[in-house]
Amino acid sequence: MLHLNPQGVEVFINRSQSVNMDPHWNNYDLIVWKQDNSGYTNIKGMFRKNKWGITEKFLVNEKGTWVLPNKYVKYFK
């Protein structure tokens, strides 16, 4: 698991921007949007940049960090 502070989240957002993936802030929540046509019918679906996608929401914890799964480690190498 990745434990990121606000600066680490900013690095993640800047390095992982692509056509098919758009991480962004929603107040203090980190939202990772990935393009997927099934987002139209999915409860986690979101319409963004004229396309449907699936979102993952990461909330700040009581220690002031965001915990991301290991699949996002590749953006820090």
Per-residue pLDDT at 21 exceeds 90: yes
pTM, to two decimals: 0.91
pLDDT for 77: 83
DSSP 10-46: HHHHHHH--SSEEEEEETTEEEEEEE-GGGGTSTTEE
Alpha-carbon distance 41 to 7, whole Å?
Answer: 34
Domain count, the chain: 1
Q: Which domain holds residue 23?
A: 2-76
- Predicted confidence (pLDDT) per residue in 23-71, tens digit: 999 999 999 999 999 999 999 999 999 999 999 999 999 999 999 999 9
